[in-house]
Structure 1
Amino acid sequence: MASNNNKQRLRSAFTLGKGEKLLQDNPRDIVRQVFWHHNITQRAISEATKIPQQTVSRLVNGLLEQGILQSSEDTHCSRGKVSFGLVPNAGYGYCFGLSVLLDAISVAVMNFKGEVIATQLVRLDDMSIASVIGKAQTVVAAMSQQYELDPARAIGMGVGISGFFSSTDGKMNIHHAIEEWATINIAETIAEAFNLPTWVVNDGTGAAAGEGIAGAGRRYKNFVYLFVSSAFGGGLINNGEMIRGTNGNAGELGDMLPAKLYSHPNLQLLERILLKHGIEIPSIYQLNEVFDPNWPGVDEWIYKVQDSFDLVVTCSSALLDSQAIIIGGHIPTKLAEMVIPRIDVYAQFRRGAKRPLPEIVSAQVTDSPVAVGAATLPLREWFL
């Protein structure tokens, strides 16, 4: 449980100006090491950060007193001395994530350890700003009550939405289905509605951020995330951190595919093909729950988009030399697993070998991936 002083600090966190930090650099470096390497020892932290061990010990004691870290049950023995590992204190705080979809919203809540506490998808007929905020507030209040979340421990909120940043005024060029959202500074509007510090990313970057903390990112620190949803996009993770680019638009993988030459591998195309074969789906955002690999039209979709996957994966592999290509978004896991063996990655063959190629895997975060990713943003900004 966080101390009263720390509760007050979190409660007033939204008053910090741009660039200010809840933690200074050395404590932040320690928290980062503990977050990514559970049960790490103080000695290992010192070796990784180059902070003198005596300083690490002093700072760790302070982080333990604040309730940010806690000792794990695992012990380590070195040079005859027994030491305890360190882990993030899951109860120190929590974050909310909001995904603004084309005809629905999704809300996620995540604890300080990076574990997803809950998610909820809500279909909406009215995607106006007032409607979305009102429904999101209702969901957040219900989650807070159900899981007994102390308002004083709310660290912040993240928002993931379809579109791209076109300027530095906080506005985004939004999908036409939710056009009203293009008229506002989204972060400021949501921050005011929830009284929390708020950050905004596009949906592909958000889903990649979530996969980086709650999914395959525990195994791969460098990966390209293919976001397959109503549209096709992506996100980039390097050394565990989001690559945002100059304007916040890094990972717009769909722009690699000229529409007149390539069929974009999105789920609206799949929905149209399935409907042609008499298969109706309730929502692309819940497709994973009902998908049948034997549906007529599935192989047709794969055939149409196979060249697109080949091109994007080949370009991503050649440009970024990542550990993995992760296929995620709202694509059903079974469909992603059907696509993966058919992807052909071009690489020059020289002296009997190709250059090392990334693994191609399906995403592990399949329930509300954008909202889960959005929930990681306060953790990433304040502590990681």
Structure 2
Amino acid sequence: MTSARNNQLLRGNFELGKGEKLLQDNPKAIVKEVFWTHGITQRAISAATKIPQQTVSRLVITLIEDGLIRGVGDSGKASTGLEPNPEYAYSYGLSILLDAISIALMNFKGEVVATRHVELDDMGIASVLSKAVAEVEAMSAEHSIDNDRILGIGVGISGFFSSNDGKMNTHHAIEEWADINIADTVADAFNLPTWVVNDGTGAAAGEGIAGVGRKYKNFVYFFVSSAFGGGLINNGDMIRGTHGNAGELGDMLPAKLYSHPNLKLLERILLKHGVEVPSMYRLNEVFDPEWPGVDEWIYKVQDSFDLVATASSALLDSQAIIIGGHIPTKLAQKVIPRIDVYAQFRRGAKRPMPEIVCAGVTDCPVAVGAATLPIRDWYL
């Protein structure tokens, strides 16, 4: 596969672009406003970017002619508001899980076009990439997507970055992926620009574009899966940190003092009560909040949720805390009312508290988040 997009900062084995900044009259600044506010008017774009409205009108005409944006509604006229043209470009996301992969396809508007989840017996590099390439090619054929309309591929994987050289200390179940440059390896297989994040950051990135997180500029994402982690979104963008490890919420919880709120613990408790569950990636489809053992899990992890939610609120003053990952929505709904975010009272009032809500992206959240990485790079 090849890509004709030359104006983005490339990752993997691809050379870095010149990284043109968004100047005041750069049409990319207009596309950025259109992406984040679907239906935005030219007047609102002018107010947000400080570009004179006459210049905005001229650039909008060009952008529509080039196919990047379009008017909303059936009329397609710019006067009714603007939105990205979803068919202008696409991106892929690959989630490398502990015993499976997930693939997500996203269009230029930030909408999820398709997802696939494939369980694998062999999580080695050759096995994963062979299957992933085949799935991506099949999805492109199914949706009639030309290679030159693919911006790139993002990768989400369990682990933490060891340094700034692109290598990760991955989960022991995917040992072969440890201490290699994952971006280079995936870029070679797909011949596409490639970006890599850990799974929690990836899921948060996806929630910020394709989920309920889109309504919040600042939020903390609780990633509940085989382990407990998270991601941070500030002013709509990912907080990566010095090495790319920002959002490692599980490290707030000393294992000897706190039970980590993960789904492996839930599976063990449910099994003790005679409830066998499928793969955690399908748990949302069958979960019953009345299963024996559910309340026991909540009791064990309640203090952990309280501590991390309080620390997140106090440190980041976020608008929201979003409970996501692979946790069943019905379980998250049962947990949320019990989370206690501590704050001092002063003059009869607390400081503003974050909303605590369920994630909107429940199908392949890491792959969806990974698919946003090429799009985020293009827009931002």
Give your verdict on TM over 0.5.
yes
Match of 2:113 in 1: 117
Within-5 A mapping of 1:158-237? 158-237=154-233
- Cα distance, 1:40 vs. partner? 1.1
- Cα distance, 1:60 vs. partner? 2.1
Corresponding residue SS for 1:205: helix
The code of the aligned residue for 1:99 comes to S
> In structure 2, what is the Cα distance between the partners aligned to 1:267 and 1:335?
11
* Cα deviation digits, residues 274-308 of structure 1 (max 9, x gap): 11112111201111011111111111100000000
1:10 counterpart = 2:8: no
Match of 1:263 in 2: 259
Residue correspondences, number: 374
Moved more, 238-247 or 225-234: 238-247
Q: Is the contact made by 1:225 and 1:328 (CA closer than 8 Å) also made in structure 2?
A: yes
Moved more, 120-129 or 37-46: 37-46
Within-5 A mapping of 1:135-150? 135-150=131-146
Corresponding residue SS for 1:92: coil
The code of the aligned residue for 1:9 comes to A
Q: Is the contact made by 1:74 and 1:84 (CA closer than 8 Å) also made in structure 2?
A: no
The code of the aligned residue for 1:57 comes to S
Using structure 2 for the length normalisation, give the TM-score.
0.94
Using structure 1 for the length normalisation, give the TM-score.
0.93
The code of the aligned residue for 1:257 comes to L
Q: Is the contact made by 1:104 and 1:123 (CA closer than 8 Å) also made in structure 2?
A: yes
Match of 1:331 in 2: 327
Match of 1:20 in 2: 18
> In structure 1, what is the Cα distance between the partners aligned to 2:238 and 2:30?
19
Q: Is the contact made by 1:161 and 1:201 (CA closer than 8 Å) also made in structure 2?
A: yes
- Cα distance, 1:137 vs. partner? 1.0
> In structure 1, what is the Cα distance between the partners aligned to 2:182 and 2:114?
23
Q: Is the contact made by 1:109 and 1:375 (CA closer than 8 Å) also made in structure 2?
A: yes
* Cα deviation digits, residues 212-243 of structure 1 (max 9, x gap): 00001221121000000000000001111111
> In structure 2, what is the Cα distance between the partners aligned to 1:58 and 1:9?
25
> In structure 1, what is the Cα distance between the partners aligned to 2:346 and 2:163?
44
- Cα distance, 1:253 vs. partner? 0.4
Corresponding residue SS for 2:63: helix
- Cα distance, 1:367 vs. partner? 0.2
Moved more, 134-143 or 365-374: 134-143
Gaps of 5+ in 1: 1-6, 76-81
Match of 1:245 in 2: 241
- Cα distance, 1:23 vs. partner? 8.0
Q: Is the contact made by 2:104 and 2:371 (CA closer than 8 Å) also made in structure 1?
A: yes
- Cα distance, 1:41 vs. partner? 1.6
The code of the aligned residue for 1:10 comes to R
> In structure 1, what is the Cα distance between the partners aligned to 2:92 and 2:246?
23
The code of the aligned residue for 2:16 comes to K
1:315 counterpart = 2:311: yes
1:42 counterpart = 2:42: yes
Q: Is the contact made by 2:101 and 2:128 (CA closer than 8 Å) also made in structure 1?
A: yes
Q: Is the contact made by 2:302 and 2:338 (CA closer than 8 Å) also made in structure 1?
A: yes
- Cα distance, 1:12 vs. partner? 9.5
> In structure 1, what is the Cα distance between the partners aligned to 2:351 and 2:45?
34
Corresponding residue SS for 1:10: coil
- Identity across the alignment (%): 74
- Cα distance, 1:19 vs. partner? 5.2
Gap change, CA 1:291 and 1:195, over 3 Å in 2:
same
Alpha-carbon RMSD across the aligned residues, in angstroms, is 2.1
The code of the aligned residue for 2:124 comes to S
Match of 1:381 in 2: 377
Gaps of 5+ in 2: none
- Cα distance, 1:8 vs. partner? 7.1
Corresponding residue SS for 1:114: coil
> In structure 2, what is the Cα distance between the partners aligned to 1:22 and 1:288?
43
